[in-house]
Amino acid sequence: MASDLRLVEAVKATLGEEMARDESVVLYGEDVGVAGGVFRATDGLLDEFPNRVYDSPLGESGIVGAGVGLAAAGMRPVAEIQFQSFLYQGFAQLQQHASRLRSRSRGGFSCPITIRTPYGGGIHALEHHSESFESGFAHVPGLKVVIPSSPAEGKGLLAASIRDPDPVVFMEPTRLYRSLRESVPDDDHVIPLGEATVAEEGADVTVVAWGSMLQRTLSAVDDVDADVEVVNPRTIYPLDTDTITESVKKTGRCVVVHEAPETAGFGAEIVSRITETAFYHLEAPPERVTGYDVPVPMFAREDAYLPDEKRIAAGIRRAVET
């Protein structure tokens, strides 16, 4: 059985199911209780699990830090950070503790915390509400970084993240929260972390994209006179290098698309890995179609900042025509 759900609904359903499945799962974060979260991703869960959903005081360092303690004491904390930008307030706890509790204790402890956070642009939000720092998080060993690109992935990847024994930053693309409906399995549906998927097969060029950029890529492809293969990594760290490499070995050309600024973005990592693993198959320089190296502008200029179908198509054309 399956239901037609939006991403935010899939997230909520999954949270409920995982709480029912495992008593040690607790939800907390700013406004996740009574209000059900600013995007309503936890709506109704406080009623369903009265002693397991908590409104936290404001303060993201506190949220991440307390999560480390909850995890050490045997809970499976699922924290919501209201917008990804505010996870910077908790970055020290993430880097110094959540990611290292296992290694620092030589495996005596693990830190199975899941930090859910809406990310990315495209919904005309306030300043600081459109960040995508997946590359920075992926540069923190000990963390996993997961980004679903559809409602069904939202469910399968969130379930896997909550069950994962290591800390996961789970980044939910705000632009997809309500804009997309999809059939989502009602039963236990788990997508293993670290496995990419080929969203569209093609022979001429490989495009790697995630989050709301995946949808844009899929529609940009229609405008391009080439047979495009689209790979959706789903997990940013650990990255499924094999799937990407295989695709590039087949197509010989590659484009990476992401919202984050180009410099030191995760596109750089993907380009580097491809260049290392598929060098002799590359027929043209890999392309990056990304945000610019400027602070994400406020929303009136957001469209000019975010890669759109036109820029993506142009990037693909460059890769194909070179």
Partner 1 sequence: MPRTTVAEFSVESLEILAPDGSVDEDLEPSLSEETLFDIYRTMRRARRLDERAVALQRRGELGTYAPGTGQEAAQVGSAAALAEDDWVVPAFREQAALLTRGASMGSILAYAMGLEEGAETSAEDRALPPAIPVGSQALHAVGIGWAQAIRDEDAAAIAYFGDGATSTGDVYEALNSAGAYGAHTVFLCQNNQYAISTPRENQTRAGTLAQKAVAAGIDGIQVDGNDALAVYEATQRALDQAREGNPVLVEALTYRRSMHTTSDDPRKYREEEEEVDWDRKDPIARFEAYLRGRGILTDERVEELAAEIEAELEDAVADARETAAEADPADMFEYAYAETPPWLERQAAASRGGGDADGE
Ligand X SMILES: Cc1ncc(C[n+]2csc(CCOP(=O)(O)OP(=O)(O)O)c2C)c(N)n1
Q: Hey, which residues are catalytic here?
A: 129
Query: Per CB under 8 A, which of residues 104..123 are in contact with its own copies?
Result: 104
82 binds ligand X (CB under 6 A): yes
**x/- site string to its own copies, residues 131 to 170, per CB under 8 A?**
--x-xx-xx-xx----------------------------
Using CB under 8 A, which of 9, 49, 67, 146 touches partner 1? 67
Contact (Cβ atoms closer than 8 angstroms) between residue 251 and residue 206 = yes
**Helix 151-163 / helix 7-21 crossing angle, nearest 10 deg:** 30
Stretch that binds partner 1, among 148-156, 177-185, 201-209, 277-285 (CB under 8 A): 277-285
The two structure tokens encoding residue 220: 């940009």
Residue 264 site contact among its own copies, partner 1, ligand X, none (CB < 5 to 8 Å, cut-off depends on kind) = its own copies
How many other β-carbons are positioned within 10 Å of the β-carbon of residue 40?
A: 16
Q: Select from 21, 48, 141, 203 the one that contacts partner 1 (CB under 8 A).
A: 141
Q: If binding is defined by CB under 6 A, does position 177 make contact with ligand X?
A: no
Peptide bond into 238 cis (omega under 30): yes
Q: How many CB atoms lie within 10 A of CB 7?
A: 29
Q: Which does 50 bind (CB under 5 to 8 A by kind): ligand X, partner 1, its own copies, none?
A: none
Please check whether residue 319 is in contact with residue 205, taking contact to mean a CB–CB distance below 8 angstroms.
yes
CB of 45 to its own copies, least distance (A): 28
Q: Does 203 bind ligand X (CB under 6 A)?
A: no
Select the span of 27-35, 168-176, 183-191, 200-208 touching partner 1 (CB under 8 A). Answer: 27-35
Residue type, 151: P
Site string for ligand X, 128-147 (x = CB under 6 A): --------------------
Burial category of 57 from C-beta neighbours within 10 Å (exposed 0-12, middle 13-18, buried 19 and up): exposed
- Residue least distant from ligand X (Cβ): 86
| Nearer of residues 16 and 59 to its own copies, judged by Cβ | 59
Task: Tell me whether residue 319 is exposed, middle or buried, using C-beta atoms within 10 angstroms of its C-beta: 0 to 12, 13 to 18, 19 or more.
Answer: buried
Query: Taking CB under 6 A as the rule, does residue 235 contact ligand X?
Result: no
Q: How far apart are CA 181 and CA 21, in angstroms?
A: 25
> Tokens in use for 281?
């198959």
Determine contact, residues 266/257, Cβ cutoff 8 Å. Answer: no
Residues forming the site for ligand X (CB under 6 A) = 30, 58, 60, 82, 86, 89
